[in-house]
Structure 1
Amino acid sequence: MVDWLFIGYLFIFGLTFGSFFNVVGLRVPAGESIVAPRSHCTTCERDLSTRELIPVFSYLFQKGKCRGCGTKISPLYPFVELATGLSFSGAYMLLGWSYELIVALLLISLLAIIYVSDIRYMLIPDKILLFFTPLFLLLRLTAAPLDPWWSSLVGAAVGFGLLLLIAVISRGGMGGGDIKLFAVLGLILGWHDVLLAFFFSCLYGTIIAGIGMAAGKVKRKKPIPFGPFIVLGALTAYFYGNSLVQWYIGLFL
């Protein structure tokens, strides 16, 4: 039986943390504190009231504008909040209550912060990766191991090595943040699924960039952040990797 009450709690929990992930993703790469100063309008510098900090709903009630100066608020804020809330609750629906759910919630949290950071600065901060890596390592070696347990360690090596090789061959086609992120993803996913995550990241990037160029929104030879595509690819591989592999193999049997 689906526990809709707990799903609702996780959704609200995700909305709230999604708001915090926006702050982390915007401030950490800029070398700012995530504690002070208080959340404020970046245009008029006015501190935001409690009613202006309600995830998603404040954006809707204010019609996407600052109450003080009328400046448009980036839709990035409510998007990350809503996506985090839906992802938290969706993870429980797919995994149920288990130690693996903790891995999933941490993965979603990491990817939400990286999404914000890479969209705004085209940067994946080492501080964020260094914070999450020990948590994933501890879980994979104790409460939520992969089968076999060493798949996490091999996955980290494969993720790092693959991206490093591509960066060397392409002479900078992959950033250092992408390389280190795939090492962390390999730790979480194992070597099979980290390869799948890379495949889907490239696939999503090719499709979305192609659509963007066709629409005139993306210019040729202009760099675009790869982080958002890694986020999509990693989540696809994590939640649906085994099912997709089995489906693909079934096509030939």
Structure 2
Amino acid sequence: MIFIFFLYGLVFGSFFNLVGIRVPVGRSVMTPRSMCTACNHLLTARELIPVVSYVWQNRSCRVCCSPISPLYPFVEIITACLFAFAYAKFGFQLPLLKALTLISLLMIIFVSDIVYMLIPNKILLFFTYLFLIQWIFLPASMKMDVLLAGVMGGGLLILMAAVCKGGIGGGDIKLFILLGFVLGLKEFLVTFILSVWLGALGGLLGMMLGKVKRGQPFPFGPFIVVAALLVLFYGEFIFTFYLSLFHN
């Protein structure tokens, strides 16, 4: 069964690439068919097999030989692994549905922010509807917790944005608010702290490698994505470990 979820993840990962690349620029995810961005060659079925086609075509377009971004197979493989791991951890229970929905959102955000440094409102709004439907079936105590997390998280981040004068993007703020609503207050706080640390380390590493200049904006979304995924699977452990740092 885990292998089946892995295969589903490969297929959905390919679709998430498409959504993350098309939606931010206002293009339909239905039409036109997938094509080479360099020569507009319409891709055939055998050129659309997740990961396999990338390797088979030697990482380039079969017609014009333009290189294919490694982002495509990376997202496909990561999504496949996350889907399989979600099933292994949660089984066929309600948390699995939340996990798969959250993974889907995060992988699309990862693509859009890497490519455009943009987190589209359309994507956030669509997934908000999905999470609202799932929220209906939560116990009353959990409903209040996630609502409180969303409100407090939103207020905190809007205040930070005002103090930092644009140091955090509007899309990041909206994503954090939605994550608070999905994860709950404790997990939201862990996600926020972890993403800030990861972002700081990523920015420092980028400057050391000459990829990021001081004062130059860089996508923060991928660090939020990594932090949220870690909290989804290991939130309690991370929270306990973080508290233990202050008890020693």
Q: Which residue of 1 aligns with 2:82?
A: 87
Matching of residue 75 in structure 1 with residue 70 in structure 2: yes
- 1:104 and 2:93 correspond: no
Given that 1:146 and 1:152 are in contact with CA atoms closer than 8 Å, whether structure 2 keeps it comes out as: no
1:216-242 deviation digits (Å, cap 9, x = unpaired): 122111110010001011111222111
Q: Which moved more, 1:66-75 or 1:187-196?
A: 187-196
2: CA distance, partners of 1:35 / 1:165 = 39
CA contact (8 A) 2:190 2:238 kept: no
The Cα offsets for residues 151-182 of structure 1, whole Å up to 9 and x where unpaired, read as 01011112211211111101111111111111
Of 168, 174, 197 in structure 2, the residue corresponding to residue 174 of structure 1 is: 168
Q: What 5-or-longer segments of structure 1 have no aligned partner?
A: 1-5
Instruction: Give the structure-1-normalised TM-score.
Output: 0.94
Superposed CA RMSD: 1.4
What is the rounded CA distance, in whole Å, between the counterparts of 1:8 and 1:219 in structure 2?
42
Deviation for aligned residue 1:108: 0.3
Out of 192, 196, 200, which is 2:190 matched to? 196
The letter of the residue matching 2:191 is A
TM-aligned CA distance change 1:177 to 1:110, over 3 Å: same
Matched residue of 1:118: which SS?
Answer: helix
State the Cα distance separating 1:191 from its structure 2 match.
Answer: 1.1
Q: Is 1:152–2:146 an aligned residue pair? A: yes
Name the CA shift for 1:174/1:63 in 2 (closer, same or farther; >3 Å).
Answer: same
Aligned counterpart in structure 1 of residue 40 of structure 2, from 25, 45, 66: 45
2:227 paired with 1:215:
no
**Distance change in 2, residues 1:111/1:193 (3 Å):** same
Q: What is the rounded CA distance, in whole Å, between the counterparts of 1:116 and 1:62 in structure 2?
A: 22
Shift of 1:243: 1.4
Q: In the alignment, does 2:55 pair up with 1:60?
A: yes
Does residue 1:225 correspond to 2:209, yes or no?
A: no
| Counterparts of 2:236 and 2:159, CA distance in 1 | 26
1:140 aligns with 2:103: no
Percent of residue pairs bearing the same amino acid type: 51
What secondary structure does 1:29 align onto? Answer: helix
1:187 aligns with 2:203: no
* Kept in 1: contact 2:98–2:134 (CA 8 A): yes
CA shift for structure 1 position 248: 3.8
Task: Tell whether 2:29 aligns with 1:34.
Answer: yes
Aligned length: 247
Unaligned runs of 5+ in 2: none
Cα distance 1:107–1:145, how it changes in 2: closer, same or farther (>3 A)?
farther
